[in-house]
Amino acid sequence: MSEPLVRRMREFGTTVFATMTKLAVETGSINLGQGFPDTDGPARMLERAVEAVRDGFNQYPPGPGVPELRRAVAEHREKWYGLAYDPDGEVLVTVGATEAIAAAVLALCEPGDEVIVFEPYYDSYAAAVALAGAVRRPVTLRVDAGRFTFDPAELAAAVGPRTRAVLVNSPHNPTGTVFNRQELEAIAEVCRERDLVAISDEVYEHLTFDGVEHVPLATLPGMRERTVMISSAGKSFSVTGWKTGWICAPAPLVAAVQAVKQFLTFTAAAPWQLAVAYGLREEMDWVNGLRADLQAKRDRLIAGLETAGFGVLRPAGTYFVQTDIRPLGFDDGLELARRLPELAGVVAIPTQAFYDNVSRGRHFLRFAFCKKDEVIAEAVTRLRHLSSGSTL
Ligand SMILES: *Cc1c(COP(=O)(O)O)cnc(C)c1O
C-alpha cells in the first residue's frame, strides 16, 4: 500500500515529545522533556469530578458547554482581566486548548490563507494550519537581553494580502517569554491595521513568575472584537489529562468556531466541566500556590543547569527553561538531546523541532521543571557530570 497519510500531514511524523519520552523510558533517564506535572490538582476539585460521575452527570452536555462552567469562565475573565463575556454566546467549552486551536483555525482560515506563527511554536499550531490547507508564516523569536522577543518590523513584513490570522501564545511555550505591553501592542497594531483575527493561546495565563503580569491580548484597544482567547484547565490546575479548555470571543467568532467544533467532538466530557467550574470559583488560591512552587522549581533547575555549564535563559512564565548549549562545547541540540541519556541520564527536548528556520533554534535545549523536587534534584546531580568533563 502506498503512503496512506494525506500529503498535507506527512511532514508531521511522530512528535518530538513521543520520541524523547520513548528514549527516556528505554534508557531509564529522568524525563525533563514532556511538559506535564507529576503531582495532582486541588483535592476538592478532583473530588467534584468524582461526585459528578456518581451523581449521574454522564450524558452529552450542551454543545457550547455546561452552563455552570460557562458562567464560571465569564466571572473569572471579569474578575482577573476586567473583560466581560456573555456566558451564553461568547464562551465555548472545548476538548482542551488543542481542540480550541484546531477548531478556530479550521473555522476562520480558507485554504491558501496565511497564518502568522511565532517560532519556536507549539507543535499543534503547524498541524492545525496544515489541516486547514492554510499556510504558516513564521516570525522568529530571538534572544535579546536574556529573553526571547520579536522584531515588530519582521512581524509587519510577514503580513501579506492572504494573511488571515495571527496565532499568539503568551506566556510562550517553549521559550517562557511573557509578552509585555509593548510587544502585545505591536501585535495588536498589525491586527487592527490589516484586519486580522488574533487566536490567542493563553493556557499559561496563571503561571508567571517574579510578579510578571499576564496581559490578555483582548484587553488592548480594538482587540476584544477580533480576538479568540483560549484557556485550559490543564495547566492552571495540573490536570492535563482532563482536556478541558474554552474560548472567549465575540458571538460571531464563537459561532464560527462552534460550527466546526460540533463536528469534531460535538461537546466536551461532562464531569470535568462541573469540576473545573468549581476550580475557577474556589481554587484560585491553590493556583497561586502552584505558581509559587513552580517559581522555586524553576530557580532550582536553573541553578543546576548553570552549574552544569549551560547558558540559561530565565523564563518569566510556563513550565520550561531554554538553555544555550554552546558554552558546553556543543552546537546541535538534536545531537545533544540524543546523547544526553548516555552523558547524564536526563532527557530534554531539542528546541529546533519547533522552527521552520531550524538553524535559528539549533543550539537550544528545552528542560521542563513541572516535576517533583526530588526529580529535579536528581536531574541536577546527574547533569553535573556534563561539566566535570569526565564524559565529554
Ligand atoms: C499544553 C498546551 C496546550 C494544550 O492544552 P490542552 O488543554 O491540553 O489541549 C496548548 N497550547 C500550549 C502552548 C500548551 O503548552
Instruction: Sheet containing 364-368: give its strands across.
Output: 311-313, 320-324, 364-368, 349-350
How many Å apart are CA 268 and CA 193, to the nearest integer? 36
How many Å apart are CA 172 and CA 205, to the nearest integer? 10
- In short, whether 323's Cβ falls inside 6 Å of ligand 1 is no
Contact between 354 and 119 (Cβ < 8 Å): yes
How many Å apart are CA 137 and CA 377, to the nearest integer? 40
Contact between 273 and 66 (Cβ < 8 Å): yes
For residue 8, what pLDDT is reported?
93
Per-residue pLDDT tens digits for 143-192: 999 999 999 999 999 999 999 999 999 999 999 999 999 999 999 999 99
What's the gap in Å between 47 CA and the centre of ligand 1?
A: 24
For residue 34, what pLDDT is reported?
87
For residue 13, what pLDDT is reported?
83
What is the pTM (predicted TM-score) of this model? 0.97
The closest of 124, 151, 156 to 137, measured between CA atoms, is 156
- In short, whether 37's Cβ falls inside 6 Å of ligand 1 is no
- In short, whether 203's Cβ falls inside 6 Å of ligand 1 is yes
Measured over the CA atoms of residue 379, residue 381, residue 384 and residue 385, the dihedral's sign is negative
What's the gap in Å between 168 CA and the centre of ligand 1?
A: 13
For residue 391, what pLDDT is reported?
46
- In short, whether 232's Cβ falls inside 6 Å of ligand 1 is yes
User: What is the separation of C-alpha 21 from the centre of its chain, rounded to a whole number of angstroms?
Assistant: 18
- In short, whether 65's Cβ falls inside 6 Å of ligand 1 is no
In the chain, DSSP finds a helix count (H) and a strand count (E) of 13, 15
Contact between 353 and 33 (Cβ < 8 Å): no
What's the gap in Å between 144 CA and the centre of ligand 1?
A: 26
What's the gap in Å between 380 CA and the centre of ligand 1?
A: 26
- In short, whether 97's Cβ falls inside 6 Å of ligand 1 is yes
What's the gap in Å between 329 CA and the centre of ligand 1?
A: 33
What's the gap in Å between 384 CA and the centre of ligand 1?
A: 31
How many Å apart are CA 277 and CA 260, to the nearest integer? 24
C-alpha cell read off for 371: 516535576
The closest of 204, 188, 210, 173 to 320, measured between CA atoms, is 173
- In short, whether 333's Cβ falls inside 6 Å of ligand 1 is no
Mutate to test the pocket of ligand 1, among 232, 243, 246, 369 (most ligand atoms within 8 A of CB): 232
Count Cβ atoms below 10 Å from residue 23 Cβ, excluding itself. Answer: 17
For residue 389, what pLDDT is reported?
53
C-alpha cell read off for 168: 499568539
- In short, whether 176's Cβ falls inside 6 Å of ligand 1 is no
Amino acid making up residue 22: K
Name the 3-class secondary structure at 133. Answer: coil
Residue having the nearest C-alpha atom to atom 15 of ligand 1: 173
Residue having the nearest C-alpha atom to atom 7 of ligand 1: 96
Categorise residue 222: left if φ over 0, alpha if ψ from -120 to 50, beta otherwise: left
CA angle 373, 378, 379 (to 5 degrees): 95
Contact between 288 and 264 (Cβ < 8 Å): no
What are the DSSP E strand ranges found in the chain? 30-31, 91-94, 114-119, 135-140, 142-144, 147-149, 163-169, 197-201, 227-232, 245-248, 311-313, 320-324, 346-347, 349-350, 364-368
C-alpha cell read off for 127: 498541524
CA dihedral 317, 318, 324, 327 (to 10 degrees): 70
For residue 390, what pLDDT is reported?
47
The closest of 142, 298, 281, 145 to 207, measured between CA atoms, is 298
CA angle 235, 138, 364 (to 5 degrees): 65
Across the strands, what pairs with 30?
346
Average pLDDT per consecutive 10 residues, the chain (392 residues; last block may be shorter):
91 88 95 92 98 97 97 98 98 98 98 98 96 98 97 98 98 98 98 98 98 98 98 98 98 98 97 98 98 98 96 97 96 96 96 96 97 96 77 45
